[in-house]
């Protein structure tokens, strides 16, 4: 079960419940993937309101790995989520809100 106080969220992907967390290492991974100089630049990028499928794969993958799951982005790209694109976006939104936002994140499971 996800612990929101640690920035964890739960998501159902491929019909399985997963815990995701953007740890410091996961954030560093995303800085590199998105060629962001620092976390502020990363937040600015995520705040743009634009999200590509590749962005979702990277963010979900980093969150899965941050929570200790041994999974690569190719495997993440093959996963399914209830609701299709909206389901993936809900997972990303919950994860980013749990990491950077104030208040309760929505649980996409």
3-state DSSP of 63-90:
HHHHCCCCCCHHHHHCCCECCCHHHHHH
| SS3 state at 17 | strand
Q: Name the phi and psi angles at 81, rounded to 5.
A: -135, 140
| Structure confidence by residue, pLDDT tens digits, 34-84 | 999 999 999 999 888 888 999 999 999 999 999 999 999 999 999 999 899
- At 3 the pLDDT is 85
- pLDDT, residue 20, reads 98
Whether the pLDDT of residue 89 is over 60: the answer is yes
Whether pLDDT at 10 is above 70: yes
Percent above pLDDT 90 for the chain: 76
Residues 6+ apart with CB under 8 A from 90: 81, 83, 106, 108
């Amino acid at each position: 079960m996800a612990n929101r106080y640690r920035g964890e969220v739960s998501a159902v992907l491929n019909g399985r419940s997963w815990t995701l967390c953007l740890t410091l290492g996961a954030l560093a991974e995303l800085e590199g993937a998105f060629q962001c100089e620092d976390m502020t630049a990363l937040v600015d990028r995520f705040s743009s309101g634009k999200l590509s499928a590749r962005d979702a794969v990277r963010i979900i993958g980093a969150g899965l790995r941050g929570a200790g799951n041994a999974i690569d982005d190719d495997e993440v790209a093959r996963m399914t989520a209830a609701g299709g694109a909206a389901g993936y976006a809900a997972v990303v939104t919950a994860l980013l809100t749990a990491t950077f936002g104030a208040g309760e994140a929505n649980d996409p499971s």
